Amino acid sequence: MELDPDAIGLADPVEPAEIDLGGGVREVGVPTPPPRLSPSGAGTFEQCPRRWRHRYVDRLPDPPGEAALAGSFAHRVLELLMQRPPEERTPDAAKKIAREEWPETEAADDFAALGFDDEKSRRFRWRAWQAIEGLWKLEDPGAVDVAATEQDIEAELAGVPFRGIVDRLEREGDGLVVTDYKSGKAPSPRFRRPRLDQVLLYAAAVEADTGEMPVRARLLYLGQRPVGIDVTRKELEVVTEKLADTWAGINTACETDEFEPRTGPLCGWCPYLDRCPEGVKAVEKRNRAAVAAEAAHLAAAG
């Protein structure tokens, strides 16, 4: 089975805790629905309710990896770049911003936890810069009519209290466009549509907040390609109904304190694997299957 790298959180930037955890004060260990549901919270529950419990109820650490931190750094630089006047949105300006922002990233606990030496730290910066520079392969940033960056939006969608941060809203000839930067690998065609749920939810939230329905929503896979979709009433209904189903599932799980483990290929990347016997079994089974497939391949090759 092909893995969608973004789906396993290898490249999604780190959301601020107050967004990711839904805000509000909830007692650790007591299953309670969050005051607001973010796309990452919804995605975690859809992937595995047990993982959701560990993260959002037990508040166990789910440290971001190198790729997610590099993505966050790239996002921050692009956010500041796009707040500049159009003529100042140049690669040199981005470099200057990156140099100014780097000390804060370098001093953060999440970065220190990676334990990088100078060489690894240099490679990290290079990787982040590749993502930042990749914007110019997709568009002329100076030609973008920016309406907002990093917009924190709260809205009720199909009865669900929703909150998310929209990377960028821009005006094009026919209306508003929702854009989200991605520094991971662009999805293959069969993974594209699910990846657009997040920006469609943002489009629904923008409409609920402002009264204007965006005309398009897109993911900019930095250095690779854009993946976009026309926003239609039907598309918004599909994603908001799915969000409502997830919200109902979270509420039921919290009422009953039943959070089923949903094993799958992503268990191998789960930070809670060591406390999940079902996940351990799933990973061992996949490892055995991989070893058997490798042996069969070598035998066939003679």
44 scored as a contact of ligand SF4 (CB under 6 A):
no
Strands 145-157 and 175-182: unpaired
Query: What separation in angstroms does the CA of 219 have from each of 7, 19, 52, 90?
Result: 14, 20, 25, 21
In the complex, minimum distance from the CB of residue 49 to ligand SF4, in angstroms, rounded to a whole number: 8
40 scored as a contact of ligand SF4 (CB under 6 A):
no
Q: What's the token pair of residue 58?
A: 């037990």
What is the Rg, in whole angstroms, of the alpha carbon atoms belonging to the chain? Answer: 20
User: Which range, of 141-149, 240-248, 257-265, 287-295, touches ligand SF4 by CB under 6 A?
Assistant: 257-265
What separation, in Å, do the N-terminal and C-terminal C-alpha atoms of the chain show?
Answer: 26
276 scored as a contact of ligand SF4 (CB under 6 A):
yes
In the complex, minimum distance from the CB of residue 36 to ligand SF4, in angstroms, rounded to a whole number: 23
Helix axes 91-107, 118-133, angle to 10 degrees: 140
Helix axes 197-210, 39-47, angle to 10 degrees: 140
89 scored as a contact of ligand SF4 (CB under 6 A):
no
In the complex, minimum distance from the CB of residue 297 to ligand SF4, in angstroms, rounded to a whole number: 27
8 scored as a contact of ligand SF4 (CB under 6 A):
no
272 scored as a contact of ligand SF4 (CB under 6 A):
yes
CB 23 within 8 A of CB 51: no
Considering only 37, 48, 70, 80, the residue that binds ligand SF4 (CB under 6 A) is: 48
202 scored as a contact of ligand SF4 (CB under 6 A):
no
User: Which range, of 76-84, 99-107, 157-165, 265-273, touches ligand SF4 by CB under 6 A?
Assistant: 265-273
Nearer to ligand SF4, 217 or 282 (CB): 282
User: Which range, of 63-71, 109-117, 165-173, 273-281, touches ligand SF4 by CB under 6 A?
Assistant: 273-281
279 scored as a contact of ligand SF4 (CB under 6 A):
yes
For residue 89, what are the contacts with CB-CB under 8 A and spacing of at least 6?
A: 81, 82, 141, 142, 144
Measured from each CB, the residue nearest to ligand SF4 is 279
CA distance 34 to 57: 9
Nearer to ligand SF4, 89 or 262 (CB): 262
User: Which range, of 47-55, 142-150, 173-181, 285-293, touches ligand SF4 by CB under 6 A?
Assistant: 47-55
105 scored as a contact of ligand SF4 (CB under 6 A):
no
CB 161 within 8 A of CB 38: no
267 scored as a contact of ligand SF4 (CB under 6 A):
yes
Element (H, E) at 296: helix 277-301
Nearer to ligand SF4, 194 or 265 (CB): 265
CA distance 177 to 169: 6
In the complex, minimum distance from the CB of residue 55 to ligand SF4, in angstroms, rounded to a whole number: 9
In degrees, to the nearest 5, what angle opens at C-alpha 212 toward C-alphas 208 and 217? 90
Mark 152-181 with x for binding to ligand SF4 (rule: CB under 6 A) and - for no binding: ------------------------------
CB 185 within 8 A of CB 206: no
Q: What's the token pair of residue 167?
A: 């990377």
Q: Answer positive or negative: Cα dihedral of 49, 51, 56, 59.
A: positive
Instruction: Enumerate binding residues for ligand SF4 (CB under 6 A).
Output: 48, 50-51, 261-263, 266-267, 270, 272-273, 276, 278-279
